Amino acid sequence: MTRLVDLWRVRVPALVMVGLMVFGLPQPRSGGDARAGGPIGPSAVEQQGLTLINARCTLCHSSDLITQQRLDRPTWTKVVDKMMTWGAPVGPDERKFLLDYLSASYGPLNSPEAPSK
């Protein structure tokens, strides 16, 4: 029975990764009509950051677990490096982009409790 469970733990993430490589991630629709002056949805950098989180981090974590953190850059670096040693499929270029994105979007200054500028 334990061999079956161990095999299942290996196959599910592998199948998820193959599915993401073959089909990609669904793209959310824009929040409004840009021609009408309404909101146009997330910026390209924000969309790329969210896509990277969905592809690399949510294999093991919910997105809420990641986005609720309000960590500074050194702490995000420790967390990302630890996840990479535990098998997170993040390449060197993705690591830098991910750290830039997480620090800018989910740093202590972006906290709901942070004072407004």
Confidence of residue 85 (pLDDT cuts 50, 70, 90): very high
Taking the C-alpha atoms of residue 51 and residue 46, their distance in angstroms, rounded to an integer, is 8
CATH number at residue 99: 1.10.760.10
Residue 56: how many CB atoms within 10 A of its CB? 21
Instruction: Evaluate whether residue 65 is within a structural domain.
Output: yes
Which residue range is the domain that position 69 belongs to? Answer: 43-111
Instruction: Evaluate whether residue 12 is within a structural domain.
Output: no
Asked if residue 6 has pLDDT above 70, the reply is no
pTM for the complete prediction?
Answer: 0.59
Q: Measured in whole angstroms, how far is the alpha carbon of residue 57 from the centre of its chain?
A: 5
Q: How confident is the model over 18-69, as pLDDT tens digits?
A: 565 655 555 444 444 444 444 455 688 888 888 899 899 998 888 888 888 8
Instruction: Evaluate whether residue 97 is within a structural domain.
Output: yes
Asked if residue 90 has pLDDT above 70, the reply is yes
Instruction: Evaluate whether residue 79 is within a structural domain.
Output: yes
Instruction: Evaluate whether residue 6 is within a structural domain.
Output: no
Number of domains into which the chain is organized: 1
Instruction: Evaluate whether residue 37 is within a structural domain.
Output: no
Contact 88, 56 (CB under 8 A): yes
